[in-house]
Structure 1
Amino acid sequence: MDTVEEKLEAMRADLAERDGVLVAFSGGVDSGVVAAVAREALGEDAVACTAKSETLPDEELDDARRVADEIGIQHDIVEFSELDSPDFVANGDDRCYHCRTMRLGQMFNHAKELDIGTVCDGTNASDPGEGHRPGLQAVEELDAHSPLLEHDITKEEVREIADRYDLSVADKPSMACLSSRIPTGLEVTEEKLTRVEKAERVLREWGFSQFRVRDHDGLARIEVAEDELEVALDPNFVETVRDHLTDLGFEHVTLDLHGYQTGSVSPGNEAEADDEPLVENVFDTDYSALRSE
């Protein structure tokens, strides 16, 4: 079995043979590593490109700019809207396929403008085994190059490589697009995306590292990492997030005691209709009254 160093060298040599590459760049650890290796292999012939849309939180775009600056790679931003696609808005089982098709399509269009023949993405060797991933079909159909997958570099190895390049996102948790917070079958709207983004900003400000606010058509279901559940039960946090999310238009605010789960509203991961989710509506409690006793 090849070592991480051998895999990295093979990936570097692979990219160096190309006339130029455009990296579909989210600013996360996977695309960050691809961009860093591409910059090392090709110099100014490597470009990072981020597609800005309603599903990309402002904080993630800021991260992408910062990480591109760390790498020293040219960073371009293109804009589009997934909401222009009725198939995406319908939020069926294949929503991620339509999203990735449009997003990568923007990458290929920009690469053509720059006369670059190769578009790379950050799919790694661990991704194909992680459940429902229709977006990978789009990567294959559009013939994007996935150097991490091609050279059998796993997620754990990606983080190790990111450490070698001293990338600030080496330990950054995964952050899927905002539409992943809306359960399959419920229409994706700009209003829902905006209120989810603003709701998650509160959790970010409170220092949570892994979290989601799922929008169940007016009910906010908060997921945080299991080791952070105690903080989520803090009366001060409860009052703050309850009031803020209510102001955003959520009718009910709940905390999922299962903790954060990847893709918990995706096909194949949702609870059966007859199962009662383990959710505590702690946000209905008047904690100010309890503290005055």
Structure 2
Amino acid sequence: MTTLEAKLEAAREDLAAHDGALIAFSGGVDSSVVAALARDALGADAIACTASSETLPAAELEDAKRVADEIGIRHEIVSFSELESDAFVENDDERCYHCRTMRLGEMLETAREFGVETVCDGTNADDPGAGHRPGLRAVEELEVHSPLLAHGITKDEVREIAARYDLSVADKPSMACLSSRIPTGLAVTEARLDRVERAEVLLRQWGFDQFRVRDHDGLARIEVAPDELERALTHEFAETVREELSDLGFDHVTLDLHGYRTGSVSPAADD
């Protein structure tokens, strides 16, 4: 038995020891692997739950629905608004803590409604060492179970497990919530979230894979992966993106020559 197989067996046994589990499910690779393991271990007693709000792109919600169907797990969607929290809207360096507290609070409430005692998330073994992660404090405070972390499953191993399950998200780039595109200290508003989401839809339609559109109070700073930067450095792209993003309400449009970087507008490294 390989090390990864031993970790998988331990994670399944861990989940099987619970009467049921509700998985905080974004449709990303981490939560998808936890959902697949829970489905194996608990069958119909495993529930994937996605919290829908203004910070979740519509395309990500559709992806979550599709991946839950791939896994064959029951999928519930709950709606709430982070914008009802002044602490979240303020957008200080604890924003992710406030967000995760609210999201997991929705998970815990939904679990109680279904008579499920255990809520799981997709925190993996690499996350605690990945910089400023205030959201992890919310996971600990709310006593949410993280089977990937508990059994030492790293991000690379998560992707390998996803490939073993033939999940379409095995190679999916990381996707943080839309509020991570707004610099710390600048209020998170529905208008800013909306124009960022619409701008990123356009970047995706133009064929870019790993990118962000950062909203600096009306200035759009576009980051694309280094291996995609050459495609963005064309006169045609510059003209098109300037026109399209101006129509969305951005006053200025720039391309960041450093390329895509996590946490480039805040202390958090979750983007």
TM interval, shorter chain, is: over 0.9
User: What's the counterpart of residue 169 of structure 2?
Assistant: 169
The range that moved more, 146-155 or 226-235, is: 226-235
Contact 2:90 2:188 in 1 (8 A): yes
User: What's the counterpart of residue 154 of structure 2?
Assistant: 154
Which consecutive unaligned segments of at least 5 residues does structure 2 have? none
1:108 partner letter:
L
Q: Structure 1 4/266 Cα, relative in aligned 2: closer, same or farther at 3 Å? A: same
SS of the aligned residue for 2:119 comes to strand
TM-score normalised to structure 1 length: 0.90
User: What's the counterpart of residue 214 of structure 1?
Assistant: 214
Distance 2:236 2:151 in 1: 48
Distance 2:72 2:146 in 1: 21
Q: How far apart are 1:206 and its partner, in Å?
A: 1.2
Using CA pairs below 8 Å that are at least 6 residues apart, which structure has the higher relative contact order?
Answer: 2
User: What's the counterpart of residue 109 of structure 2?
Assistant: 109
Aligned length: 269
User: What's the counterpart of residue 56 of structure 2?
Assistant: 56
1:214 partner letter:
R
User: What's the counterpart of residue 231 of structure 2?
Assistant: 231
Where in structure 2 are the equivalents of 1:81-230 lying within 5 Å?
Answer: 81-230=81-230
User: What's the counterpart of residue 279 of structure 1?
Assistant: none
Deviations for 1:13-57, whole angstroms, at most 9, x for unmatched residues?
100110000000000000000000000110000000000000000
Query: What is the root-mean-square deviation of aligned Cα atoms in Å?
Result: 1.2
2:166 partner letter:
D
Contact 2:93 2:268 in 1 (8 A): no
2:218 partner letter:
G
Moved runs in structure 1, 4+ residues, more than 3 A? none
User: What's the counterpart of residue 6 of structure 1?
Assistant: 6
Q: How far apart are 1:237 and its partner, in Å?
A: 2.1
Distance 1:201 1:234 in 2: 20
Q: How far apart are 1:268 and its partner, in Å?
A: 7.2
SS of the aligned residue for 2:93 comes to coil
TM-score normalised to structure 2 length: 0.98
2:260 partner letter:
Y
Deviations for 1:186-208, whole angstroms, at most 9, x for unmatched residues?
00000000000000001111111
SS of the aligned residue for 1:258 comes to coil
Q: How far apart are 1:241 and its partner, in Å?
A: 1.3
Distance 2:56 2:232 in 1: 25
**Identical aligned residues as a percent:** 75
Contact 1:132 1:266 in 2 (8 A): no
User: What's the counterpart of residue 280 of structure 1?
Assistant: none
